[in-house]
Homo-oligomer: A and B are copies of this chain.
Amino acid sequence: MVRVTMKDPKIWKTFVSSVTALIEEAAFTFSPDGVRMKAMDPSKISMVDFELSPDAFDEFKVKERVVAGVKLTEFERALSRMKSKDQLTLEVDTEKNRLNLIFKGASTRKLGIPLLSAEEEEFPEPKLNFAAKVTLQASVLKDGLKDAEMVAENVRLNADKNSFSILAESDRGTSELVLSKGDEGLVGLDVSEPATAIYSVRYLIDMVGGTSPSDQVTLKFSTDLPLEIDFGVANGRFRFLLAPRVET
A residues 30-74 touching B (CB-CB < 8 Å): 74
Please pick, from B107, B150, B178, the residue contacting A77 in the complex, using a CB distance under 8 A: B150
The range of chain A's interface size is 35 or more
- Convert A163-204 into 0s and 1s, putting 1 for each residue whose CB lies closer than 8 angstroms to a CB of B: 000000001111111110001111000000000000000000
Judge if A211 is at the interface, Cβ distance under 8 Å. Answer: no
- Look across to chain B and name the residue whose beta carbon is closest to the beta carbon of A100: B174
- Write the nearest CB–CB distance from A180 to chain B, whole angstroms: 9
- Convert A95-110 into 0s and 1s, putting 1 for each residue whose CB lies closer than 8 angstroms to a CB of B: 0001010000011111
- Docked CA distance A107–B179 (Å): 6
Judge if A90 is at the interface, Cβ distance under 8 Å. Answer: no
Judge if A143 is at the interface, Cβ distance under 8 Å. Answer: yes
Judge if A81 is at the interface, Cβ distance under 8 Å. Answer: yes
Number of copies: 3
Please pick, from B146, B174, B183, B185, the residue contacting A112 in the complex, using a CB distance under 8 A: B174
Kindly list chain B residues whose C-beta atoms are within 8 Å of the C-beta of A81.
143, 146-147, 150
- Convert A135-152 into 0s and 1s, putting 1 for each residue whose CB lies closer than 8 angstroms to a CB of B: 001011001101100110
Q: Are B106 and A173 in touch, CB under 8 angstroms?
A: no
Judge if A233 is at the interface, Cβ distance under 8 Å. Answer: no
Judge if A78 is at the interface, Cβ distance under 8 Å. Answer: yes
- Look across to chain B and name the residue whose beta carbon is closest to the beta carbon of A175: B111
- Look across to chain B and name the residue whose beta carbon is closest to the beta carbon of A149: B81
30 A/B residue pairs, CB under 8 Å, sorted by A: A74-B173, A77-B150, A81-B143, A98-B174, A106-B137, A106-B140, A106-B184, A106-B185, A107-B140, A107-B144, A107-B177, A107-B178, A107-B179, A107-B185, A107-B186, A109-B144, A109-B175, A109-B176, A109-B177, A109-B178, A110-B174, A110-B175, A110-B177, A111-B147, A111-B174, A111-B175, A111-B176, A112-B174, A112-B175, A114-B171
Query: Which A residues form the contact surface with B (CB < 8 A)?
Result: 74, 77-78, 81, 83, 98, 100, 106-114, 137, 139-140, 143-144, 146-147, 150-151, 171-179, 183-186
